[in-house]
Structures are given as structure tokens and as C-alpha cells.
Amino acid sequence: MVARTLPTAEAEALIDLTRELAAAELAPRAADFETRKEFPREVVRTLGKAGLLGLAYPEEHGGGAQPYEVYLQVLEELAASWMAVALAVSVHTLSCYPLAAFGTDEQKTRWLPDMLGGETLGAYCLSEASSGSDAAALTTRAVRTADGSAYVVDGVKAWVTHGGHADFYNLMVRTGADGPKGISCLLAPADTPGLAPQAPEKKMGLRSSPTTQIALTSARVDADRLIGEEGQGFTIALSALDGGRLGIAACATGLSQAALAYSLGYAKERAQFGRPILDFQGVSFMLADMATQVEAARSLYLTAARLRDAGRPYGRQAAMAKLFATDTAMRVTTDAVQVLGGYGYVEDYPVERYMREAKVLQIFEGTNQIQRLVIGRSLAKDGA
């Protein structure tokens, strides 16, 4: 069990609750749902009823009013039992951010309680097939109707987590000229006419987490669903991604912790040449490196979270945490397969799934090459 330093007794109780839920509701189901490629909507709804889908938001609209450092440690605990469910919580939290941070009081009162209470599930639509890392080049266009009452949206969004299962979609769309200043954010309900989720992508890992394209064909979104002002969408998107990157860092750390714990347990019990393989330096040193990397990843994301909680700039640290924690997840899960040898390569043991899941963490919420670009630009601007 991970030893944690938490800011309050309430936070300690929350982590204990999360561990109990993860052990009872997540871990026993993960392999089966992954095999069947089925999204565990009811499991996510259960987490919502337990208050885990609005932890990082104020109590005023039904949130948990928890510091980000606590919310992220909850994500880590969930990811250690079932990565796809932790990702669902992270993506939903990200999807609530535009409304919570940039919406009007009337918009928040109208929609935010159901979001934070887990009654509705969110999706975040930024990427497109031809503008993944270059998000400012998106082409999905929204044109305001002559009477100003709605936007008509045409285009295709790509790599949408919860596509086909979400109740609302944050659409980053072009309402103005080319470039970042022409992008706006619309909060579209799932039943918007002309909004059509496509067939799920066939992925290497995270198979119980649906990823689809969203086709928008003359989709009519009411004008009162514009979040922020026209032209503010790219600012909203970048602001949301800083927090989202920390969510992925926490998920990656949880996955790494699961791989470390499983391979350590295996190394204690697996005997070769009359001794547990943990007694052999080649194995014990590998596990020592794995444990060190996991602790470092955890420390990095917590440092960034504490900056965020203190109201200080944390974008560089968020990029560093996402970069390091996801690269660590790839290394640690690969080493976990190696510790198990041939058994690590078969589906009877979970580490092959961990390894497949780790790969995508280096890609979404900004590839790790983009994280290095963000860090490098920050260094050039602000110094070390």
C-alpha cells in the first residue's frame, strides 16, 4: 500500500473510501470488461454517487471542494485497479472545466450540478484527424444563424473519449478566422440533431474506454450554450489541458504502481534455482529502479498540483509531470513483463494489459514531444 501524506482527515477518509470501492467494484471486473470491450457506465455512475466525479470543484454546485493534490491521488488509486475507469474520471473532470471556469452563473446553475454529481457524463472534443498536436488548425466550423439563436456546426472531431456514451460534448469549433483567435467552445448535449458518434476505434489498449470520431452535420447548438466569449475557445482549451495533463500523470503513476506491486509479489513467490527470483540481483535491481521511478513520478505530479492549489503558475510543472509519469509507466510496465518472463506476455497475467495501456498515455492530452516543446518554451521565456 502506498504511504501518503494528505492535508486533512477528510482527505484520508476519501482515499480509504476510494481504495474500498476500487477493491470491491473495479479490480474484480477490469479484465472481463477489457476483454469484452465494454464501457462500464454503471461503475462510473457508482463513483459519481460516491462523489468522485466532482472532487476538484466547489461545493456550491455539488462538487467535493477537494484540493487538486487530493483529487489526483484518488485518480491514482483508481488507476491502480482499473485504468479505463480512472481515465473516465479524469476525462469527465476535464470536460466539466470549461463550464466551471468560464461559464456564466446562469449556465453553471443550469448544468453543473448534474455534471458534478455524476448524473451526466462528459466528453472533450478538441482534436481532429488533420490537426492533432496542432490544435489551433482545427477546421470544424460553427456559423451563427441569422436570428442569432443558434450555431450550425459542420465537421468531424477525432479521438473523443466517451464518444457514443457521453451526455454532453465540449466542442472546440471555428467561429472566426484561421488561427487560435477564431476558436470558440460550445457545450452540446448528446441528443443534438446532426451530432453522430462513429464506430469505436479498435485500440491496442484501454479497450473498455470508448474512443470515437464525432461527425457534425448541420448540428444545431443553441447560442446560450456558448461557453465564454466567441474567440476564447483556444484559451479555454489550453487552460483545461494543464489540469488534464496532471490527471493523466496521476493515472500513469497508478498504473505504474499496479505493475510494480504485481511484479514484486510475483518475484517473491517465483522460485528458480531453488531461490525466489527476487534474491537475484538482476531482478531486485530492476524492481528497485521501478520503485524509484514511481515515487519520482508521484512527487512530480504532487508538486505541480500543490502549485495549482496555491494559485500559482503550474503549466511547466504539469507538462513535466505528464512527460515523466507517462514515460515511467511505459518503462515500468515493460520491466514488469520482463520480470514475469513468458508469463508476462500472456493474458492470464495483468502486466501485458498494463503495458498496452501505458503506451497511449504518452500520446493523449498532448504527446510527450509536445510536452517537451511546452517545457522548452517555458525555459526560454522564464528561465530555469
User: In this structure, what CATH number is given to the domain that contains residue 141?
Assistant: 2.40.110.10
**In degrees rounded to 5, what are phi and psi of residue 365?**
60, 35
Question: 139 and 72 in one domain?
Answer: no
**Chain centroid to CA 168: how far?**
17
User: What is the Cα gyration radius of the chain?
Assistant: 21
* Residue 370 shares a structural domain with residue 245: yes
In the predicted structure, residue 221 carries a pLDDT above the cut 90? yes
CA dist 172 and 245 (Å) reads 18
pLDDT per residue as tens digits for the range 96-106: 999 999 999 99
Average pLDDT of the chain to the nearest whole number? 95
42 and 30, same structural domain?
yes
Note whether 264 and 219 are same-domain residues.
Answer: no
DSSP string computed for 165-176: T-SEEEEEEE-S
Please report the pLDDT score of residue 9 as a whole number.
Answer: 93
Structure pTM? 0.95
Do residues 356 and 248 both lie within one domain? Answer: yes
Is 234:185 a contact under the CB 8 Å cutoff?
no
- Once rounded to an integer, what is the mean pLDDT over residues 71-78? 98
Is the pLDDT score of 132 beyond 80?
Answer: no
- SS3 of 219-233: EEEEHHHEECCCCCH
Residue 253: all three cell numbers together? 503513476
In this predicted structure, what is the pLDDT of residue 133? Answer: 77
Read off the CATH number of the domain in which 103 is found: 1.10.540.10
Residues of the chain with pLDDT > 70, as a percent, come to 100
Rounded to whole angstroms, how far apart are CA atoms 246 and 321?
Answer: 7
Please identify, among 116, 142, 159, the residue that sits at the C-terminal boundary of a domain: 116
Q: Which domain holds residue 254?
A: 235-382
Inside any domain, residue 377: yes
Decide if 354 is inside a domain. Answer: yes
Structural domain includes residue 1: no
Judged against a pLDDT cut of 80, whether residue 41 lies above it is answered with yes
How far apart are alpha carbons 168 and 120 in whole angstroms?
7
pLDDT for res 130: 86
CB 100 within 8 A of CB 112: yes
76, 77, 357, 365: the active-site residue: 365
Same domain, residue pair 291 and 373: yes
State yes or no: is 77 an active-site residue. Answer: no
Whether residue 194 sits in one domain with residue 102: no
The percent of residues above 90 in pLDDT, for the chain, comes to: 92
> Closest by alpha carbon to 84, among 377, 372, 373, 353?
353
Asked whether residue 142 falls in the same domain as residue 216, the answer is yes
pLDDT given at position 2: 84
What is the C-alpha to C-alpha distance for residues 135 and 170, in angstroms, rounded to an integer? 14
Residue 3 within any structural domain of the chain: no
pLDDT value of position 118:
86
Q: Are residues 290 and 325 in the same domain?
A: yes
Q: In the chain, how many domains are there?
A: 3
pLDDT digits (tens, 9 = 90+) for 343-370: 999 999 999 999 999 999 999 888 999 9
pLDDT class for 28, splitting at 50, 70, 90?
A: very high
The model's confidence at residue 235, banded by pLDDT at 50, 70 and 90, is very high
Tell me the mean pLDDT in the region 300-325: 97
Q: Is residue 32 part of a domain?
A: yes
Q: What is the CATH number of the domain that holds 303?
A: 1.20.140.10
Domain edge (last residue) among 65, 94, 116 = 116
Q: Are residues 255 and 351 in the same domain?
A: yes
- Tell me: pLDDT of 4 over 90: no
Domain end marker among 214, 231, 248: 231
pLDDT band at 134; cut points 50, 70, 90: confident
Instruction: Give me the pLDDT at residue 384, please.
Output: 81
Grid cell at residue 152: 450550425
Q: How many angstroms separate the Cα of 149 from the Cα of each of 70, 146, 320?
A: 41, 8, 43
- Report the C-alpha dihedral over residues 233, 181, 136, 330, rounded to 10 degrees: -50
- Residue 79 in any domain: the answer is yes
Instruction: Report the Cα–Cα distance between both ends of the chain, in Å, rounded.
Output: 35
Contact between 200 and 212 under an 8 Å Cβ cutoff? The reply is yes
| Cell reading at 172 | 472546440
Task: Please check whether residue 18 lies inside any domain of the structure.
Answer: yes
pLDDT of residue 135: 84
Residue 127 lies in a domain: yes
Say how far apart CA 134 and CA 180 lie, in whole Å. 10
Assess whether 109 and 151 both reside in one domain.
no
Using 50, 70 and 90 to split pLDDT, how confident is the model at 131? Answer: confident
**Alpha helix ranges (H) inside 225-362:** 233-269, 281-309, 315-340, 351-361
Rounded distance between C-alpha atoms, residue 361 and residue 333, angstroms: 12
Name every residue whose Cβ is closer than 8 Å to that of residue 232 and which is 6 or more positions away in sequence.
102, 184, 185
Q: Virtual CA dihedral for 326, 331, 333, 337, nearest 10 degrees? A: 160
Same domain as 377, residue 253? yes
